[in-house]
Amino acid sequence: MGKHQSILDRFLQFFSSTKCGLILLGLVGTAVVLGTIILQRSMAREGQIEQIYAPQTIRLLNFLGLFDVFHAWWFILLLGLLGANIALASLERFPQAWRYFSRPHRVADEWFVRKLPFVREIPMGSAQPEEVLRRAAQKLASLGHRAHPEALKKGTLYVEKHRLARLAPYVVHLSLLVIFSGAIVDGTWGYRGYISLGPGMRSQQVESLSSNGAPRLLPFTLRCDGAGMEKYPDGSPRQYWSHLVIEENGREVFRQQIFVNDPLTYKGIRFFQANYGPSGEPTKLVIEASWPGAKRAPQTFTLRPGEVVSLGDSGTKVELADFVPDFVLEGSQLSTRSNEPNNPAVRLTVTQPGAPPSSVWFFPKFPQMNFPSDVGITFQLRDVEMGYTTGLQVAKQPGKELIWGGCLLLTTGLILALYMVHIRIWGVVGRDAKGRPVLLLGGQPSKYRESFETRFNGLADAVEEALRAPASAVAQLEHISV
Amino acid sequence: MAKAVSNHVEDHRPASGEATRGRASTASWILLAVAVSVATVLAISLPRLIGSAGWMTGEKFLYVALIAYLGASALYIASLAIREGRLVAGAVALTRGAFLVHTTAIAVRWVAAGHAPFSNIYEMVLMFSWGVVLFQLLGEWKLGMRYFGAVTIPVAALALVLMQVLPGEIRPLVPALQSTWLQIHVTLAILSYAGFTLSFAAALLYFVKDGTSPRAFLNWTAGLVTGIYGVIVLTSVDRGLDFLLPAWDVAAGEKIMLGPKQALMVAIPGLGWPFVIVMALTATALALSLVGTFSETPAAALWARRCFLASLVGQVVALLLLAVKIESGPYFVPQLNQSLPVRLASSPFLLAGVVCALFMSLAWEVLRWKHESIVEYLPHRDTLDNLIYKTVALSFPLLTLMIIAGAYWANRTWGSYWSWDPKEDWALITWLTYAGYLHMRLTRGWRGRRAATMAIIGFAIVMFTFFGVTYLLPGLHAYA
């Protein structure tokens, strides 16, 4: 039994050691480096990985999860181990630190003070020990170092600053664990997604950010009452905004205009202005139809998607079948370069009386490309009004209070740990080598010995000077100040 | 001390007969090299300085500051070597003056742009160099660490040199950057990077003080310079020894691109050879120096130093030729059957590499020339070790706050506090590195060389996070 336990003990001992923590830090660091050097799937364009890496390499990296390092099981495991190491290491050392913190050693003797790293013997002449301690304490207090009154009654001048700094490492470690737990809560119960809305549109469905994720339903309906952008004089974007309305059971319950950096929050779900732009769908086309060869004046008409327009009294009906805003021919495929109507291609369905519907393509920027159609009508695009959509990021982060609380704690802990020094100064009456009574001052910092030395010497000098002044003069001074 | 022994052990000391002549000639070479490189920068910048435009965007003020920083760098380095109070006083005065001009440049740019200069890599470098000088001045004032100036002011000057080729036009703020969190996040980034620069300076000086011989430093310096020139030769020199630079579109102020990652290259005939020669000389110096280190051959060490000095001269020549040839463009491009101009602005890394190599080489020459004097001047190594720790301890909470502010801001903008974006990743790597340093020192008692090495590695990572990620691993931080 003893042997079994000792292996476990040794394992726990190693697992809670700083060494193990440092090894884990190094491993996490290495994994993060790999995640930035190897192109990650989430950052890659379609087919980019296949273009860069050889097939065998892809198989190997896929197997090791190196195309999605930050979500790979072994990376999560590493973070978990690091968290466990931090927790164990802190638990193991905390009781000792707490004793140190909660039961400070205030009352000292001469032997103790002489063992401190910084010691000064200050001559006290024939003055009474109580009087010497009282005057030294008074001097130190005037320099911002108040002595502990209880200890002073027991014959020790005890000055202490920033004792909390002793607990700082545990505050830092605890804060990291709080942040980790916030991330776990978010990863388990939170989600992120995307909603794309045109003006006047409603949606309850949040699209997943990954290509294979399932959409989620909101517990309410989101309506967009308008969106837009402001531009700088040079045409670059200055601000995007959306007017959002929350509806519950068909009734409007909340309304807010959101901007980039200024989201809407409702029932723990937040909506962020992510992008804005033309949807690629027209809302209105103004088209001119002409009949070459026929004695008919050209006719201009307005066409909206889904609408059927009759041309004059001839009984010809026209309907929008397809609109490609910025077409480019890739082989025989027609695709669009952007959502801006830079180079449109329009397909209309034209139905003439007594004939089956026929398709007519026309290209306003390249009229010579227009297919000869059998309907005998030529179309020209006079104007187009494009629709736009606003893109909203959606996030539910139930762990975010933990995250920000942890960050606050982390900052506090680091400031305590690295900017604050726990310093202690003890003063007792003792005897020098020749047996004369002296005030013994001793001090100890938790770090930065050099800076402390300067400070300690300055304080000791001031005390020495204060003790050298005749008691009567001090009494007089006190009298005057009263 | 017995001359024979010291000659054998510390081979950086020239043999007694040649001593005075050898030192004098080295000294004059160094002075000449410094003068020539300062003159080069002046020559590049003066035509632009005289022109009337640019004062209102702060650029001209920056040239003035750059020239003053270069002078201050030389004075700080010289003051390590020569015990002369006026040198330090001059360096400090020059730095303070330059800092005022630098501050003016920032203020002018701030007013002209209507927003704080925090929005792209040019402005980041502007603020970073300012932060480094600010910390240097604060350090001089509070801790009396003037000797840091020999490292920090050259770093600031190098940053300003790099800025001369970064796109510096004032752009309006894109929507995502219009946030108070931008100011907080960037200010913290600048301050922590500047703080880590101080710990780098302390670590470097620790090695000098700790008795690292100039010979060992030569191995490192020659290695790094060979590396820099090796990369330049591999990427920019073709087989006909022509030097390849991206063609510059003067009207648009950017490189002419053929594809998403492929620039149109212009061959500058005959400019390749100085770079090849410098690479060969430093590689030879490195090889000889390594031979000298491991086989204790004084002759190898002597020739290593001579080769390195020759390479230093070669570097000055290469930099001068590069500047002259670029200015005397345009050059003929057969593919397009027309002549196109080139600019250093198209390759900030090239200029940074060349100037950095020159600085390192000069610093080594000064170190070798006045090694004992420098070691004597520097404070005790425990003081330096403490300064490494103090500067890291000062900067680490700033780095942490920078990451937190960034996360908070990202969450307000995108609804995600952490996106594993390359810049975030490298900030995390920096954080892990310095967290490692603090644990090593505080709980495992790491002191001295191991701790100093870690501070140097940490600074290299900081610099990669700052520049490398922006150019090599762009992501959400596309603006800087």
* Burial (CB count within 10 angstroms: exposed 0-12, middle 13-18, buried 19+), residue A477: exposed
- Is pLDDT at B105 greater than 50 in this prediction? yes
Residues B252-304 have pLDDT tens digits of 767 777 766 677 888 888 888 889 999 999 999 999 988 888 887 888 888 88
Is B429–A400 a contact, with Cβ atoms under 8 angstroms apart? no
Query: How high is the pLDDT of residue A100?
Result: 84
- Is pLDDT at B16 greater than 50 in this prediction? no
Query: How high is the pLDDT of residue A57?
Result: 85
Query: Given pLDDT bands bounded at 50, 70 and 90, which one contains residue B21?
Result: very low
Contacts of A183 in chain B (CB under 8 A): 418
Residues B418-452 have pLDDT tens digits of 888 888 999 999 999 999 999 988 877 788 888 99
- Which residue shows structure tokens 């009282």? A134
Q: What is the mean pLDDT of residues A126-136?
A: 87
Residues A82-101 have pLDDT tens digits of 999 999 999 988 998 898 88
Q: What percent of chain A has pLDDT over 70?
A: 95
Is B439–A419 a contact, with Cβ atoms under 8 angstroms apart? no
Q: Which helix (H) or strand (E) holds B49?
A: helix B16-50
pTM of the model: 0.81
Q: Does B83 touch chain A if contact means CB atoms closer than 8 Å? A: no
Across the interface, of A239, A411, A450, the residue whose CB is closest to B404 is A411
Is A36–B416 a contact, with Cβ atoms under 8 angstroms apart? no
Query: How high is the pLDDT of residue B13?
Result: 38
Residues A203-230 have pLDDT tens digits of 888 888 776 778 888 899 999 888 888 8
Contacts of A184 in chain B (CB under 8 A): none
Residues B55-92 have pLDDT tens digits of 666 677 887 888 888 888 888 887 777 766 777 888 89
Single out the residue of A202, A168, A197 nearest to residue A97, CA to CA.
A168
Residues A347-356 have pLDDT tens digits of 888 888 888 8
Phi (first) and psi of residue A344, to 5 degrees:
-75, 155
Is A22–B440 a contact, with Cβ atoms under 8 angstroms apart? yes
- Is pLDDT at B27 greater than 80 in this prediction? no
Q: Does B453 touch chain A if contact means CB atoms closer than 8 Å? A: no
Query: In Å, how far are A424, B282, B296, B402 from B301, measured between CA atoms?
Result: 54, 13, 8, 46
Query: How high is the pLDDT of residue A442?
Result: 94
- Is pLDDT at B335 greater than 80 in this prediction? no
For residues B289 and A478, the model is more confident at B289
For residues A291 and A159, the model is more confident at A159
Query: How high is the pLDDT of residue B480?
Result: 47
- Is pLDDT at A403 greater than 60 in this prediction? yes
Q: Does B457 touch chain A if contact means CB atoms closer than 8 Å? A: no
Query: How high is the pLDDT of residue A481?
Result: 46
Contacts of A447 in chain B (CB under 8 A): 442
- Is pLDDT at B33 greater than 70 in this prediction? no
DSSP class of residue B247? B
| Predicted-complex ipTM score | 0.79
Distance from CA of A45 to the nearest CA of B (A): 13
Distance from CA of A98 to the nearest CA of B (A): 17
Q: What is the mean pLDDT of residues B349-367?
A: 83
CATH class held by domain A104-162+421-481: alpha beta
- Is pLDDT at A18 greater than 80 in this prediction? yes
Contact A151, A107 (CB under 8 A): yes
Is A234–B414 a contact, with Cβ atoms under 8 angstroms apart? no
Query: How high is the pLDDT of residue B216?
Result: 85
Query: In Å, how far are A70, B88, B101, B407, B426 from B421, measured between CA atoms?
Result: 11, 44, 36, 11, 9
Q: What percent of chain B has pLDDT over 90?
A: 25
Give CA–CA dist A43/A477, Å, rounded: 75
Query: Given pLDDT bands bounded at 50, 70 and 90, which one contains residue A201?
Result: confident
CB pairs under 8 A between A and B: 116
Query: How high is the pLDDT of residue B17?
Result: 39
The two counts, helices (H) then strands (E), for chain A are 12, 19
The CATH 3.30.310.50 domain(s) of chain A lie at 104-162+421-481
- Report chain A's mean pLDDT, rounded to a whole number: 85
User: HSE of A408 in the Cβ direction (CA atoms, 13 Å)?
Assistant: 6
Mean pLDDT is highest, among A289-298, A324-333, B408-417, for: B408-417
Contacts of B404 in chain A (CB under 8 A): 407, 410-411
Residues B149-186 have pLDDT tens digits of 888 998 898 888 877 777 777 777 777 777 888 889 99
Contacts of B415 in chain A (CB under 8 A): 192, 263, 270, 272, 393-395, 397
Q: What is the mean pLDDT of residues B390-400?
A: 94
Is A32–B433 a contact, with Cβ atoms under 8 angstroms apart? no
